[in-house]
Amino acid sequence: MKKKLFSVMLAAAMAASLLVGCGSGAPASSGGGNGKVGVAMPTKDLQRWNQDGANMEKQLKAAGYDVDLQYASNDIATQVSQIENMISSGAKVLVIASIDGDSLGTVLAQAKEAGIKVIAYDRLIMNSDAVSYYATFDNYMVGTKQGEYIKQQLDLDNAAGPFNLEIFTGDPGDNNARFFYGGAIDVLKPYIDNGKLVVKSGQVDFDNVATANWSTENAQSRMDAIISANYADGTKLDAVLCSNDSTALGVTNSLEANYTGDWPIITGQDCDIANVKNMIAGKQSMSIFKDTRDLAAKTVEMVDAIMKGTEAPVNDTSTYDNGTGVIPSYLCEPVFADVNNYKTLLIDSGYYTEDQLK
């Protein structure tokens, strides 16, 4: 059932053509007192969520809302109880980046009962009809950009190969992970099938390449095992597809400790500070920049529309079915980042200071 749903979603993702980017349309301040918005974030451990939370809080306050911002240390029970508190303390809208997309059905039924609207933030909340909108980046496009990068760098259509590839994706409870993996594997699978790409570990299917909690340590220990079984004899590893920066960091740490051959291509996502530093040092090849300021601005527009009883801005009404129907979505555009353009993207735009990347 899940597999079928996933392939329907992927087909829809490929067909989706409504993407128009993600403008920064934060509403002007209305001076406070517009009601309370609960913002539930998964964890402070990963840098991007700190940025998401801070941007949401700042922009919601500027638009006149009270904000209850909570982080749940990647613990599902903690996130559920934080949402229960938001409901009982009078939040009018909930903005939720779920830890496990399938675990919020019961608490969100309570929200619906209380007339509270829910926006799924970045990650889709599955199997709940309480979700009104979904604000995210084009997750399938993230994977496509990573796969295309490997394809171009190895010149897979012309070079003789074969090239050795290993694959690391994200948490199975995060619906996004399947889109990232799906986008990349759709580009790379033909070359795995015709033998130009060889995955020596044999680990290709989603379940075999998933990383619980997106954890750097889990990715690192899986890479340790892959190197010792397949690359310790000097066999060259040409590329590692990593769906995001936390997994890329684990892979990089493992390679630094255990691998002596030529450095492989390594992909990533988020432009976390540690990973941008690795890009500058030549240890990570690319990342995907998802400007969380733009995602926050779009989400605040959605909150505003809900509060005013108007329609929220969406640009995709076909891709993201959460099991209860398609959730109207706004997909921001993910941007390719590497050592050549990071200054413009990250420093000139004020996302990071130059000092943060030293």
- Contact residues for 32 (Cβ-Cβ < 8 A; gap 6+): 64, 66
Are the beta carbons of 39 and 68 closer than 8 angstroms? Answer: yes
Taking the C-alpha atoms of residue 108 and residue 165, their distance in angstroms, rounded to an integer, is 41
Chosen residue from 122, 224, 301, 316 binding ligand BGC by CB under 6 A: 122
Give the nearest distance from C-beta 290 to ligand BGC in angstroms: 6
Whichever of 100 and 174 has its CB closer to ligand BGC, that residue is 174
123 binds ligand BGC (CB under 6 A): yes
Taking the C-alpha atoms of residue 303 and residue 316, their distance in angstroms, rounded to an integer, is 18
Taking the C-alpha atoms of residue 256 and residue 154, their distance in angstroms, rounded to an integer, is 22
Whichever of 254 and 269 has its CB closer to ligand BGC, that residue is 269
Taking the C-alpha atoms of residue 115 and residue 81, their distance in angstroms, rounded to an integer, is 18
Concatenating the DSSP letter of every residue in 105-153 gives: HHHHHHHHHTT-EEEEESSPPPS-TTEEEEEEE-HHHHHHHHHHHHHHH
By CB under 6 A, how many residues form the interface with ligand BGC? 13
Whichever of 238 and 294 has its CB closer to ligand BGC, that residue is 294
Quick note: the x/- pattern for ligand BGC over 66-105, rule CB under 6 A, is ----------------------------------------
Give the nearest distance from C-beta 64 to ligand BGC in angstroms: 28
269 binds ligand BGC (CB under 6 A): yes
- Between the two ends of the chain, the Cα-to-Cα distance in Å is 48
> Omega of the bond prior to 313 within 30 degrees of 0, cis?
no
Whichever of 63 and 337 has its CB closer to ligand BGC, that residue is 337
Q: Per CB under 6 A, which region of 154-162, 169-177, 322-330, 345-353 contacts ligand BGC? A: 169-177
Give the nearest distance from C-beta 289 to ligand BGC in angstroms: 10
289 binds ligand BGC (CB under 6 A): no
Q: Per CB under 6 A, which region of 15-23, 152-160, 168-176, 187-195 contacts ligand BGC? A: 168-176
Give the nearest distance from C-beta 151 to ligand BGC in angstroms: 22
293 binds ligand BGC (CB under 6 A): no
301 binds ligand BGC (CB under 6 A): no
Whichever of 39 and 156 has its CB closer to ligand BGC, that residue is 39
Tokens of 167: 């694959």
244 binds ligand BGC (CB under 6 A): yes
SS3 at position 289: strand
Give the nearest distance from C-beta 357 to ligand BGC in angstroms: 19
Task: Return the residues of window 41-60 that contact ligand BGC according to CB under 6 A.
Answer: 46, 48
214 binds ligand BGC (CB under 6 A): yes
Residue nearest to ligand BGC (CB): 244
Q: What does the CA dihedral 344, 349, 352, 358 come to, rounded to 10 degrees?
A: 30
Q: Report which of 121, 142, 117 is spatially closest to residue 130, judged by C-alpha positions.
A: 117
Are the beta carbons of 43 and 215 closer than 8 angstroms? Answer: no
The β-bridge partners of 143 are none
SS3 at position 336: strand
270 binds ligand BGC (CB under 6 A): yes
Taking the C-alpha atoms of residue 318 and residue 23, their distance in angstroms, rounded to an integer, is 21
**Chain residues in the site for ligand BGC (CB under 6 A):** 46, 48, 122-123, 170, 174, 176, 214, 244, 246, 269-270, 290
